[in-house]
Structure 1
Amino acid sequence: MSLARQVLVLQLLVLAAVVLAGSVLTVFDERRDADAATRREVVAIAESLAAADSTAAALRSPDPSAALQPQTERIRAATGTDFIVVMSPDRTRYTHTDPELIGQQFTGTIERALAGETFTETYAGSLGPSIRSVAPVYSDGRIIGLVSAGVTRERISDQFMRGLPLLLAVAAGALALAALGSALLSVRLRRQTLGLAPTELRTLYQHHDAVLHSIGEGLLVFGTGSDTAEVVNDEARRLLALPDGPVTRAQLPPSLRSIGPGTVKDEVHLTGDRVLVVNQDPVSFEGREIGTVTTLRDHTELQSITGELDSMRLFTESLRAQSHESANRLHTVVTMVELGRTEDAVAFATAELELSQQLIDRLTTAIGEPALAALLLGKVNQAAERGVDLTVTEDTALPAAGPLSARELVTLVGNLVDNAIDAAGTHADGERPWVEVTVRSDGAELSVRVADSGPGMSPEALDKATAKGYSTKSDHRGLGLALVMQVIARHGGTITAEMTYGSVVLVRIPTGGTE
């Protein structure tokens, strides 16, 4: 059976048992209350009749029965009791419901009444089992008679049985109302559990938990209108550095907090030290939207490798271009030799070779990291193809990468140079655009200065660009400064922008050494 049906059956059984037990206890309680009420009633009748002056006067008269029998019968009929007996101290009856029993001995206990006490008892007398009371009648301080009033058990049972249908109806109504409530609860529970049995729910939970802990992507599930995540798997906590316990939107990186409830496909978001590819889809059930599922894929290493590959591609293209250019120069030199212009051929070949080799020798000598040297050589040729003069200044000196890895150097310098080439090439005003790069390490600090002929960037624009958290561009450009900020923040550096001899961006990263 489904969980909802099992709960329904269990509730019905429990409710039936509770109502039945409550009804039985109510019956016993009502029976006890009826007996208590009867005792109070017969005691009041006996004491009232015993205290009446007319009763004492009748007992002193020659024929007590003649005076008392009509009176007691009227009282019995008015009060609904079964008998009222007035007797002498020796048990002789003066009154009775059955006139034939007048003058006979009263059956029952009278010793306590003869001692001056009014009491009640249950006794099987001439009319059957009854609840009766006995009270003494005083005259001049002396007991001259006794009064007994009683109601038979049969009458008490009849009165109780007349009220029993109402009691049973109330119990049945309570059971029906409880059953209706249980049925409604069962319907709600069936809807919430999709009609699954407990074993199916347990299996589903076990599989759900196993999948959440085993998948390699981060997973966040938010309910509609909720700021607290309903599901956060281990990978999501690792990628976003989330603490244990409930996770709210406020704990997510700024760019993820700004995602709306709609569909997101392959957006690249940056956290403090990671590059994440984010996808989000709304989830609907029975035509009603119940939340969103967000997945996170870690592309940090891939982004770094892509940057290195870009630098090597640029270097390769630079070498290919140089090879093509060298072939052109070689053909020119050969032709000039064939034409007999030997001196001109030597001068031409020497000048071209000297310029190219001078740049290569200077970069490989000044920069101890081959990947960075290759990157700058590639950027020189890339800038030239776009009509931008890129210069690596003479004071560039980087014996070693210092605290930065080769990947970090390529990311830092490559993105700054790309941004400068874009700015210089786009905003040139008649003059040939230029970019100037300086990379230095003096032992205590690594500095990267990139200047260009572009319009520059205000501190506010720099803050906005470096805080950018995502990009939807296919080549992921637009993340450049944000990636640069990751490297800077990782090593406790700073970045500033100013307008001096051009638009200058300066990055300083402490190396931990001394000058």
Structure 2
Amino acid sequence: MRLFIPLYQLGIQGRIMVVIALMSVLQIGLVGGVFLAQHAQTIENLTGGRALAIAQAVAQLPDIRDSLLKQDASRVQQLVEPIRQITQAEFIVVGDATGRRLSHPIIERIGGTMVGGDNEAALQQGKSYISKAVGTLGPSIRGKTPVFSSSGNIIGLVSVGYLQTDVDSVVFQHQFLLYGLLAGVILLAMITAVLIATHIKRAILGLEPEEITRLYQEQSATLQSVSEGILALDSNGLITQFNLAAVNTLQLPKEWLTSKLKQPVKTLCKEGDILLAMQQQGKQVKDIALVVNDQPIIVNGQPIPDGGMVFSFRCQDEMSQLAEQLSQVKQYSDTLRVQSHEYSNKLHTLAGLIQLGEHRKALALIKQETSGVQAFMSFLRNAIPDPELAAIVLGHYHRAKELGVTLLIEEDSYLEGLPATLDRMALVTILGNLVNNAFEAALQTTEVNPVIKLGVTDSGNEIIFEVEDNGTGIPDNLSHSIFEKGTSTKSQLGHGIGLYLVKQAVERLKGMITIEAASPTGTRFVVYIPK
């Protein structure tokens, strides 16, 4: 008779129970083991800290210092023994500069050399520390600290210790309850595993995973093999299944085979309301003519007992289907045709000039297009050597051209002496959001051409950014809250974040930002960042 059955031979209920139980035991065991080990380490650390604190307190006693200088072992023993009893330490040993004991719980060992080999750091380097070593009383956790004379010389050390066996006993007492708690949690996990496995077995009608897989594969093969489109809805009108024929018939992307599952039928086609109405009637539908996604189809429907519906449909006219496909191709062609680059006409002009032999005019056109950009790039390399800040300025230069905004950069702008420790990304956040805000403000006015002025300098001990626009300015009701999150002069969603980020970055860099009214209209932001 076999006592153990291979896991693959168990039913779904048995497998679920075994897997959940094993995972629960493993997880709880790992977490509990780590926690218990950490708990034990914590107790040892607390014990070592306590020993060190007692040793440091004893080392500060003037009588201990005087007795060490006088090598009065009897007096030292009288001083430390009551302290040892009160603190419940296993030993408090006071040694002189050579490591010779002046006190010990066992009086006969006074005068001998301290054992453990862990005194050098205290006697030679003057350090206070916690150590674990084996002494005359056995393995112990010790706190050691030097004793200094009034002149600062090391005249001895104090060693306070607790036996490792006593610490282990305390650890076990603390952990005994935790062991019981972990055992209870494991038992509860196993009971939960039984309940979950029973519920799952009942929910899948007693079928095994292999049987469910076979049924699913059969259903999928059946759906994909039929030439008619199949669309299944649940009681809430959500799509639960449709096949490739349905995708092809309705002219939908193939990705929708998976992406539209569990989505409302309205997202599949605008005629979804009609299909929902048929479903709500709960009656069989026979040869109903519909136009779905501009595609004439014949629809049949069969209700499901739970309130859902399965629809099958086919094209009413193959020629109509072909026409729809041609229409789709034409739409794609038109979309590609309008996506021409802004320089395509100029490239055609250049090609024509070259073919006509007008090389000078072609070069002149090229120089005309590139001279402005080259001059700006040369200025930018000299004025702002820092790559991150230069990149953000260059990006806004090109964006200004696209938006039809004039971006003027002060000729005396210069930004070179940036400390290496200064957060470049914070500077990029400040400059980028201020210019973006200026773009939006300048574009709001239709009375004058939108203009933005940008100035950057690092003279003195501060880095200064100045961004000015000729917009309509900041309304009075927003002047005190312009830097708050969500505050914006625009009503659309997604605004009210830029200036909030600017304020946060400025404060992070310990800087300051001011707002002034520009002349004759607009707003000027000035940021001061200390180097």
Give the structure-2-normalised TM-score: 0.49
Give the counterpart of 2:137 among 104, 121, 127: 127
Q: CA deviation at 1:131?
A: 1.7
- Distance of aligned partners of 1:119 and 1:258 in 2 relative to their CA distance in 1, 3 Å threshold: closer
Q: Partner residue of 1:41? A: 50
Displacement after TM superposition at 1:135 (Å)? 2.5
Partner of 2:233: 222
- Cα root mean square deviation, aligned: 3.2
Question: What secondary structure, in the 3-state scheme, does the structure 1 residue paired with 2:112 have?
Answer: coil
* Cα offset, 1:10, TM superposition: 2.0
Q: Secondary structure at the match of 2:158?
A: strand
Pairwise CA distance, 1:157? 0.5
Structure 2 CA distance for aligned equivalents of residues 11 and 298 of structure 1 = 50
- For 2:111, the equivalent position in structure 1 comes to 103
Using the alignment, how far apart are the partners of 2:230 and 2:307 within structure 1?
16
Matched to 1:49, the amino acid is: V
Tell whether the 8 Å contact from 1:277 to 1:298 is kept in structure 2 after alignment: no
Q: 1:220-299 maps to which residues of 2 (within 5 A)?
A: 220-226=231-237, 228-237=238-247, 244=254, 245=256, 246=260, 248-250=264-266, 251=269, 252=271, 256-265=275-284, 267-272=286-291, 276=298, 278-283=300-305, 289=306, 291-296=308-313
Q: Does 1:144 align with 2:161?
A: no
Q: Percent identity, aligned pairs only?
A: 27
Q: CA deviation at 1:7?
A: 3.6
2:181 equivalent to 1:170: yes
Distance 1:270 1:55, change over 3 A: same
Q: Quote the residue 1:323 is aligned against.
A: none
Structure 1 partner of 2:82: 74
Letter in 2 for 1:83: F
> How far does residue 194 in structure 1 lie from its aligned partner after superposition?
3.1
SS of 2:55's equivalent? helix
Is 210-219 or 51-60 further displaced after alignment?
A: 210-219
Tell me, yes or no, if the aligned pair for 2:297 and 2:313 is still in contact at 8 Å.
Answer: no
1:59 match: 68
Deviation string 1:488-508 (CA, Å, 9 cap, x unpaired) is xxxxxxxxxxxxxxxxxxxxx
Q: Is the 8 Å Cα contact of residues 89 and 145 (structure 1) preserved in structure 2?
A: yes
Specify whether residues 181 and 136 from structure 1 end up closer, same or farther in structure 2 by C-alpha distance, changes over 3 A only: same
Residue aligned with 1:172, SS: helix
Q: 1:112-150 CA deviation, whole Å, 9 max, x = no partner? A: 332233343322111111122333323343433332111
Structure 2: distance between partners of 1:151 and 1:248: 71
Q: Report SS of the residue matched to 1:59.
A: helix
In the aligned structure 2, how far is the partner of 1:119 from the partner of 1:282? 77
When residues 299 and 88 of structure 1 are mapped into structure 2, their CA distance, relative to the original with a 3 A threshold, is: closer
Name stretches of at least 5 consecutive residues in structure 1 with no aligned partner.
284-288, 302-515
Deviations 1:7-59 (A, max 9, x none): 44223222222222222222332232233222222221112111110212333
Contact 1:131/1:152, CA 8 A, preserved across alignment: yes
Q: Deviations over 1:462-501 (max 9, x none)?
A: xxxxxxxxxxxxxxxxxxxxxxxxxxxxxxxxxxxxxxxx
Give the residue type in structure 2 aligned to 1:189: I
Matched, 1:203 2:203: no
Q: Are the equivalent residues in 2 in contact too, given 1:256–1:269 (CA < 8 A)?
A: no
Cα distance in 2, alignment partners of residues 275 and 135 from structure 1? 93
Deviations 1:339-359 (A, max 9, x none): xxxxxxxxxxxxxxxxxxxxx
**Aligned partner of residue 278 in structure 1, secondary structure:** strand
User: 1:271 aligns to what SS in structure 2?
Assistant: strand
What is the deviation of 1:62? Answer: 7.3
| Alignment partners' CA distance in 2, 1:92 and 1:234 | 92
1:30 aligns with 2:39: yes
Distance apart, 1:300 and its partner CA: 8.2
Structure 1 counterpart of 2:300, one-letter code:
V
CA contact (8 A) 1:85 1:94 kept: yes
Match of 2:346 in 1: none
Quote how far apart the aligned CAs of 1:95 are: 1.9
Distance in 1, matches of 2:113 and 2:252, equals 97
Runs of 4+ in structure 1 off by over 6 angstroms are 297-301
- Structure 1 residues 207 and 75, CA gap change in structure 2 (3 angstroms): same
Shift of 1:153: 0.6
Query: What is the correspondence of 1:181-196 to structure 2 with a 5 Å cutoff?
Result: 181-196=192-207
How far did 1:74 drift? 2.0
SS in 1 for 2:308: strand
TM superposition score normalised by structure 1: 0.50
Distance 1:104 1:290, change over 3 A: farther
Tell me the amino acid that sits aligned with residue 294 of structure 1: F
CA distance in 1, matches of 2:289, 2:27: 61
Given that 1:276 and 1:300 are in contact with CA atoms closer than 8 Å, whether structure 2 keeps it comes out as: no
1:6 to partner: Cα distance: 2.5
2:93 aligned residue: 85
Contiguous gaps of at least 5 residues in structure 2: 1-9, 319-531
* Structural mapping, 1:487-506, within 5 Å: none
Structure of greater Rg: 1
The aligned counterpart of 1:451 is none
1:212 counterpart = 2:223: yes
Deviates more, 1:112-121 or 1:71-80: 112-121
**Superimposed CA distance per residue, residues 440-459 of structure 1 (whole angstroms, 9 cap, x where no aligned partner):** xxxxxxxxxxxxxxxxxxxx
8 Å Cα contact 2:279-2:309 kept in structure 1: no
